[in-house]
Structure 1
Amino acid sequence: MLKAIADERNRLNIRQEVSGIGCFKDDRIVFWTWMFSTYFMEKFAPRQDDMLFYVRRKLACVSADNTEGKKVEVEVYRRDSKKLPGLGDPDIDWEESVYLNLILQKLDYVVTCAVCTRSDAGDIHIHKKKCQEVFASPSKHAMDSKGEESKMSYPNIFFMIDNFEEVFSDMTVGEGEMVCVELVASDKSNTFQGVIFQGSIRYEALKKFTVTEERRN
């Protein structure tokens, strides 16, 4: 699947270099609808998830200078639904839909949280760490409340840990330490891996933020 996408991009780049123009819109729709149908609707589609995600771009408004604005929505259907958008529907961004389903269904994600210290030489020493499988989502839950209502966040993708307190309850950080987080993505066969996020925060900064939030409340 990834090779087919890479080949399509190379084909488009070569055509632009040679002729100065890209592929016709209909030509690109044929490729991306074929990708969507083949890898998410037919024999290569994962059996463990029967949901399909469509990125729809609707005309939202026309400004004073006649510039059209597009409103982006994500529609979710079961694979056997009779309401599925037709392949080639011009309002569906088929390339984006392929990418979104690829991110949500074809990759596995593991987040690692560690308590570390940094030596004077700059070396990182890990004192405790835990790994947890997480799932990509085009929506998010509010972090400041216990409500179950979710809001669409696309094009931002969130990786929620619903049982965070249970998993990381014994991960304590003290003075001179820092919390490091790493998110790794891999394909289902674990043929390749890639780090898609790395970050860290020192105890002092975390404490300062906590005190500020307590004062606000």
Structure 2
Amino acid sequence: MSTLPEPSVPSGTPVTDPAKRVLPPNPKAAAIVALSFTALLYLVELVDAILPMRLDQAGIHSRELSGLDGVLWAPLLHAGWSHLFSNTVPVLVFGFLAMAAGIGRWAMVTAIIWVLSGLGVWLVGPSNAVTVGASGLAFGWLAFLLVRGIFNRAFGQILVAVVLLGVWSGMLWGLLPGNPGISWQGHLFGALSGVFAAWLVARADKAKKATAGGTGNLAV
């Protein structure tokens, strides 16, 4: 084994912190992922509309053990085309921007929001109702985007968050109860899960930086 000094960065070369990126490192790949996921939602809704399968019943049945597996399927299901249309743009935009740290990191963040928001709905959602829709994911990605800049102390990300908040500020009303047929529980737990995911990501990035900073030399 031998040790090698850390490679030096040529003078004048900008150093970009991956954690502080605003756009995905590979925008084309990120766009394909966001479009593919959205296309999957449309395919599922098309199958549900054509075949008499009642796929919506596979959503989350709150506090019923038999409905717990709906946590896995609910974000893929929608209560009709209008429901899906209303979620399309937020899913595309927020999903794409959430890939700023890479598609792998996005998959982890999405999994956290997907599972935790679903479990929250299962615990406190309305009785005798089935909860479906990707809006929990959309709220989770939005919350992730709104707070990541604060955790990372990244001006660019904070600026993007301000723009998103200005454009989609009306979505925040979806966090409050009062609209019949709308799962404010899914929106609320989605947003909380997004904040939690942003905190976990920032903590992991700080730990990685601390480890890299203390290494000094590279052992091979």
TM-score by length of structure 2 reads 0.24
Of the two structures, which has the highest relative contact order with CA contacts closer than 8 Å and spacing of 6 or more? 2
TM-score (norm 1): 0.25
Higher helix share: 2
* Bigger share in strand: 1
Larger Rg computed on CA atoms: 1
